[in-house]
A = this chain, B = another copy of it.
Amino acid sequence: MRIKEIKSILEKKGSDFVLFYNLGMEANPNMLYFSGYSGLGALVIPKKQEPFIIAPKMEVEKARKSMIKKVYSMDKKRFFDEIHSIIKRNGIKTRKIALDYNNFTINHYKYFKKQFKSIKTKDISLECLKLRQIKTNKELQILKKGFDYGNKILNKTINNFKDFKTESDVVAFLEYETKKLGLSLSFPAIVASGINGSMPHHEPKNTNFNRGFCVIDFGIKHKGYCTDCTRTVYLGNITKKEKDIYNFLLNTQKNIIKNIEINDNCGEIYGNCVKSLGKDSKYFIHGLGHGVGVEIHELPNLTLSSKDRIKENMVFTVEPGIYFPRKFGIRIEDTILMKKHPIILTKVPKDLLTI
């Protein structure tokens, strides 16, 4: 996607090419974004010439199925060495280059500089993140389809909740349904019952549920694009006070979404949430939301200090939560597509469900 746009960024920065690479277990988000390739190797996009992938022998077949037509085979051990010779062979200038400093380790940078001795490097991470925060129509199609899948799986899971005895049962079911469709998770699903819910990033346990609120945070990946949704259900007999807290958070969440407008400042949206939560805001211990795309967390940032502004075709979460230490937690999270008005992509009921 958007090879034209990244080339024009290279032009502006005076960079001869940009290099993205992946030598680990995780896909490089920008390599995935610009090429559709999520395997091992490197993506080189020159300012002038055609982009190409350099992949280890065992990944070449996979790379050829990406959007990039030119694929070279390489030996992983001499990675930056081979990249250097292929770049030279293609007659690409090597005076100035753009790198993604967010996805470049110090050691790889050292190996890189050994090959490209007199090259000047510039960070392009922010430009990529900014480009990625406004989704194209093609991306929106992929995302919408992804949310259809994600919603279906989460709805089915909540409808089957009576069959589950442990947090692990729920996670197993969520993943089974995801994998059956040939999809993968966008992050390890969180299921946190009772006291466990007081930790926003609790790791699910295979012991019997704790009674009380149960937070379910789940997302899938469809063609490289993430979805994200959290619902909180109640296990057992709820008290009036607990019901009131849930509905208070739900109304806060609904109001935040309803009031989001194009050009809103994300730090202010966060501030308004804190105001709405009043004295409970001290139990709101994470960001209000984040962009969603090839990464589960990208721009915009809906946090206190954020200066990001809401634009058309942004896709981001709104997920206020309150966490009472060593008691319980509640989080309600939707993912929003911003058009003239916000459109909720996570079509899973939010009214409190007691099980």
A179 CB within 8 Å of chain B: yes
CB of B102 within 8 A of CB of A58, answer no
CB of B182 within 8 A of CB of A168, answer yes
CB of A179 within 8 A of CB of B175, answer yes
A167, B180: Cα distance in complex, Å: 9
CB of A123 within 8 A of CB of B106, answer yes
A80 CB within 8 Å of chain B: no
A307 CB within 8 Å of chain B: no
Cβ proximity bits A167-206 to B, threshold 8 Å, 1 near / 0 not: 1110111011111111010011000000000111111111
A325 proximity list for chain B (CB < 8 A): 61
Q: Among A26, A105, A109, A200, which residue has the most Cβ atoms of chain B within 10 A?
A: A105
CB of A103 within 8 A of CB of B101, answer no
Do A323 and B58 form a contact, CB below 8 Å, given A101-B107, A168-B181, A171-B179?
yes
The tally of residues in A whose CB lies under 8 Å from a CB in B reads 61
How many copies altogether?
A: 2
Do A58 and B201 form a contact, CB below 8 Å, given A104-B105, A106-B104, A180-B206?
yes
CB of A105 within 8 A of CB of B101, answer yes
Return the chain B residue nearest A26 by Cβ.
B26
A205 proximity list for chain B (CB < 8 A): 182
CB of B180 within 8 A of CB of A58, answer no
A123, B202: Cα distance in complex, Å: 32
A305 CB within 8 Å of chain B: yes
A77 proximity list for chain B (CB < 8 A): 303-305
One of B101, B106, B286 near A58 (C-beta < 8 A) = B286
A179 proximity list for chain B (CB < 8 A): 168, 171-172, 175-176, 204
A40 proximity list for chain B (CB < 8 A): 201
A138 CB within 8 Å of chain B: no
> What is the minimal beta-carbon distance from A295 to any residue of chain B, in angstroms?
8
Cβ proximity bits A288-326 to B, threshold 8 Å, 1 near / 0 not: 000000001100000111000000000000000001011
A61 proximity list for chain B (CB < 8 A): 198-199, 325-326
> What is the minimal beta-carbon distance from A145 to any residue of chain B, in angstroms?
14
A305 proximity list for chain B (CB < 8 A): 77
A181 proximity list for chain B (CB < 8 A): 168, 206
Do A172 and B168 form a contact, CB below 8 Å, given A58-B201, A62-B202?
no
A71 CB within 8 Å of chain B: no
Q: Which chain A residues have a beta carbon within 8 Å of chain B's beta carbons?
A: 25-26, 39-40, 56-59, 61-62, 77, 99, 101-107, 109-110, 123, 125, 166-169, 171-173, 175-182, 184, 187-188, 198-207, 285-286, 296-297, 303-305, 323, 325-326
Given contacts A57-B286, A106-B106, A168-B181, 7 further A-B pairs with CB under 8 A are: A25-B297, A57-B285, A106-B123, A166-B182, A172-B180, A176-B176, A182-B207
